[in-house]
């Protein structure tokens, strides 16, 4: 991609009665003035959902022993720098549209502006979590002649995210005009408010190595009227694929061959707990020898036979079966974050309250996966249905909330890992806590250790060299193992 990522790229719709009228058109195409801000939301949500699904499936899934390309390995995606640039490019392409929503929202469009601030916060959280320091305060200023924006520190970016989320929380629910074209939350302003505050919880927990998150978390939990949080799976922002927008790993007929296998750590963990979410996550072995579900070792280079499990058939049926979603933040994740905060004493309730959050998170994840699997079966997928949720799952060894504080934090992290399959957030959470304990093949790139960050795109080194070099001089080498501010 050419170095246009910082340009304003909002699509314009122009109507001309005839060719003679072309001479009357004299507008600055980089500074549109009449695009209704509501119209942009649909495209932003679609494109970001698709790219998030691709990056989660192709990149971070391989880092955390969910899936493996036996003939390529997850290090294949690290070795080829271009494979790591897609999210960066999507972020800065969509940022122009999001900034347009924020800056052009008029009186009465406060709800739309609030949504724009949440979108921007979610985007920057992900992109900075992947790379570290980024163009932030100067990004999107090409129309002002700035095609080489300075990089802000990750600390500045994350404090900016918190500020934007606070502003969004204040704006949402105050506008006179309703949302239109919102796929994620069905134009429901209160759900956007819950998403904004739930995302703030995620950001505060992500920053907890560097700041005292306790005061702000406690303020939010103690004032649910001002800071409403997601209360069920129905509140979580999710993009559902359909006949016009396929799940992106089967888009336009490009990904019909399922050559992605489930990892042994993940499959064995689910099997040991009798966890029926395995039916949603994985396909049965084509020629079962050691059972219906068998994983491959992380980092394997051997081409597996038919006695191991590939990824779910729903991914490769997605042209006609629309069970899959991209969830921007799950209710289950929120519950696990609150469980961690309670167990650490950052919010009231102690370990007994932590247990309640923990168990709600597990149940929410199970019921969500069951719901999506049932939809897939109803649409013709030849898969086994999950049983109705049984609380007995919570009382078995390896799940029951007992032990030392460190053991309980390990239980929370393990269930979070089991719940956040196909979600990049699982990687960010693991990188912060190093829980659960996973095994990696030391023979692969970087000695099998998942990277602390991704390397900056090549274009940054060429077209924004001065600011790129200033960033790495401050942050550290442009290397997989450099520690960004969040995890120092």
> Taking all residues of the chain, what is their mean pLDDT, rounded to a whole number?
88
- pLDDT attached to residue 21: 38
In contact, 293 and 309? CB cutoff 8 Å: yes
- pLDDT attached to residue 95: 94
Domain 19-248+321-487, CATH among 1.25.40.390, 3.30.980.10, 1.10.1740.10, 1.20.1290.10:
1.25.40.390
Q: Please say whether the dihedral angle defined by the alpha carbons of residues 439, 56, 249 and 230, taken in this order, is positive or negative.
A: positive
- Comparing CA positions, the residue from 228, 5, 249 lying closest to residue 127 is 5
Residue carrying structure tokens 């995606």: 77
CB under 8 Å, gap of 24 or more: what pairs does 222-231 form? 222/348, 226/169, 227/169, 227/197, 227/200, 228/190, 228/193, 228/194, 228/197, 229/194, 229/197, 229/198, 229/201, 229/334, 230/194, 230/195, 230/198, 230/329, 230/331, 230/334, 231/194, 231/331
**Separation CA 342–CA 430 (nearest Å):** 19
Task: Mark the ranges of the chain whose per-residue pLDDT is less than 50.
Answer: 1-32, 74, 76-77, 252-253, 255
- pLDDT attached to residue 254: 52
Domain residue ranges in the chain: 19-248+321-487
Model confidence, pTM: 0.91
119-134 pLDDT, tens digit each? 999 999 999 999 999 9
- pLDDT attached to residue 440: 80
Q: Which two tokens stand for residue 87?
A: 């999210």
- pLDDT attached to residue 288: 85
């Amino acid at each position: 991609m050419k170095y246009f990522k910082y340009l304003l790229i909002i699509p314009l719709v122009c109507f001309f009665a005839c060719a003679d009228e072309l001479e009357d058109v004299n507008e600055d195409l980089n500074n549109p003035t009449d695009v209704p801000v509501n119209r942009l939301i649909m495209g932003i949500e679609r494109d970001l959902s698709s790219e998030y699904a691709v990056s989660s499936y192709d990149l971070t899934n391989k880092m955390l022993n969910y899936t493996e390309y036996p003939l390529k390995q997850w290090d294949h995606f690290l070795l080829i720098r271009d494979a790591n640039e897609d999210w960066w490019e999507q972020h800065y392409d969509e940022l122009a549209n999001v900034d347009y929503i924020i800056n052009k929202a008029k009186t009465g469009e406060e709800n739309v502006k609030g949504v724009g601030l949440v979108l921007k916060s979610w985007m920057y959280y992900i992109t900075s979590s992947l790379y570290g320091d980024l163009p932030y305060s100067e990004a999107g200023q090409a129309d002002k002649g700035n095609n080489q924006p300075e990089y802000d520190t990750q600390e500045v970016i994350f404090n900016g995210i918190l500020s934007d989320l606070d502003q969004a929380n204040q704006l949402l629910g105050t506008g006179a005009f309703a949302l239109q074209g919102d796929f994620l939350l069905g134009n429901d302003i209160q759900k956007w408010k819950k998403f904004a505050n739930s995302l703030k919880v995620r950001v505060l927990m992500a920053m907890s190595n560097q700041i005292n998150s306790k005061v702000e978390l406690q303020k939010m939990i103690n004032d649910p009227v001002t800071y409403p949080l997601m209360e069920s799976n129905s509140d979580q922002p999710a993009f559902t694929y359909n006949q016009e927008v396929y799940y992106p790993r089967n888009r336009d007929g490009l990904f019909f061959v399922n050559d992605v296998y489930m990892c042994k750590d993940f499959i064995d963990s689910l099997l040991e707990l009798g966890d029926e979410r395995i039916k949603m996550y994985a396909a049965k072995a084509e020629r079962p020898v050691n059972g219906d579900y068998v994983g491959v070792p992380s980092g394997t280079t051997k081409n597996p036979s038919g006695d191991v499990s590939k990824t779910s058939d729903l991914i490769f049926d997605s042209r006609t079966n629309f069970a899959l979603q991209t969830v921007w933040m799950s209710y289950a994740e929120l519950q696990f974050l609150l469980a961690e905060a309670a167990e650490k004493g950052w919010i009231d309730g102690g370990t007994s309250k932590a247990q309640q959050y923990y168990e709600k998170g597990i149940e929410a994840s199970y019921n969500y996966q069951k719901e999506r699997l049932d939809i897939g079966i109803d649409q013709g997928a030849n898969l086994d249905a999950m049983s109705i949720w049984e609380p007995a799952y919570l009382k078995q060894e390896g799940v029951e909330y007992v032990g030392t504080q460190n053991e309980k934090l390990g239980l929370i992290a393990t269930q979070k890992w089991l719940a956040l399959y196909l979600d990049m957030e699982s990687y960010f959470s693991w990188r912060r806590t190093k829980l659960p304990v996973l095994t990696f093949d030391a023979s692969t790139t970087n000695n099998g250790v998942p990277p602390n960050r991704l390397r900056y795109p090549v274009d940054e080194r060429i077209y924004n060299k001065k600011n790129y070099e200033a960033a790495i001089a401050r942050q550290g080498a442009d290397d997989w193992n450099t520690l960004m501010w969040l995890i120092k």
